[in-house]
Amino acid sequence: MITGSLQKKKGLYYAVLNLYDDYGKRKPKWIPTGYTIKGNKKKAVEKLEQFKIEYEQKSKIKLRDPNIYDKYKNILFCDYMLEWLEKQKGKVEQTTYIGYEQVIKGRLYKYFKAKKIKLVDLKPKHIQDFFDLLFAEGLSGNTVKHYRANISKALKSAVITEIIDSNPATKLEIIKTKEYTADYYTQDELLNLMEIIKNTTIELPVIIAGVYGLRREEVIGIKWNAIDFKAKTLTIRHTVGRGKIDGVTQFIFKDRAKSDSGYRTLPLFDFIANLLNSYKEKYDEYKKFYGNTYCNDYKDYICLMQNGELMKPGYVTQTFSKILDNNNLRHIRLHDLRHSCGTLLIQNGVPVKDIQIWLGHSNFQTTLRYAHADIENKKVSANVIENKLALDTKDTKKEQITKLAI
pLDDT at position 96 over 70: yes
pLDDT grade, residue 100 (50/70/90)? very high
Q: How confident is the model at residue 163 (pLDDT cuts 50, 70, 90)?
A: confident
Average pLDDT over residues 93-115: 93
Q: What is the dihedral of CA 318, 321, 322, 325, to 10 degrees?
A: -160
- 18-27, 49-58, 385-394: least confidently modelled range: 385-394
Cα–chain center distance at 90:
17
Least confident among 295-299, 314-318, 363-367 = 363-367
E strand or H helix that includes residue 36: strand 26-36
Dihedral sign computed on CA atoms, order 394, 395, 398, 399: negative
Instruction: Classify 187-403 by CATH class.
Output: mainly alpha
Classified as helix, coil or strand, 88 is: coil
Residue 399: the pLDDT is 47
Asked if domains 71-171 and 187-403 share a fold, the reply is no
Adjacent-strand bridge partners of 30: 16
User: Is pLDDT above 80 for 388?
Assistant: no
User: Which has more confidence, 24 or 313?
Assistant: 313
Tell how far CA 54 is from the center of its chain: 35
Whether 405 has a pLDDT exceeding 60, the answer reads no
For residues 248-277, average pLDDT: 84
Phi and psi, residue 252, nearest 5°: -120, 110
Residue boundaries of the structural domains of the chain: 4-64, 71-171, 187-403
CA of residue 286 relative to chain centroid, distance? 35
pLDDT beyond 60 at 366? no
Average model confidence (pLDDT) across the chain: 86
Higher-confidence residue of 276 and 258: namely 276
Q: Are 262 and 218 in contact (CB under 8 A)?
A: yes
Does the structure show a pLDDT above 80 at 161?
A: yes
Q: What is the DSSP letter of 28?
A: E
Residue 199 to residue 210: CA distance in whole angstroms: 16
For 164-223, how does the pLDDT look when each residue is reduced to its tens digit (9 = 90+)? 888 999 989 888 777 666 788 999 999 999 999 999 999 999 999 999 999 999 999 999
What are residue 405's DSSP bridge partners?
200
Residue 369 has pLDDT above 50, yes or no: no
CATH topology for 71-171 is: DNA polymerase; domain 1 (1.10.150)
Residue 367 has pLDDT above 50, yes or no: no
**pLDDT at residue 363 greater than cutoff 70:** no
One-letter amino acid identity for 254? K
DSSP state of 76: B
DSSP state of 91: T
Which of 71, 62, 11, 60 is CA-nearest to residue 38?
11
Task: With 0.75 as the threshold, say if the pTM is over it.
Answer: no
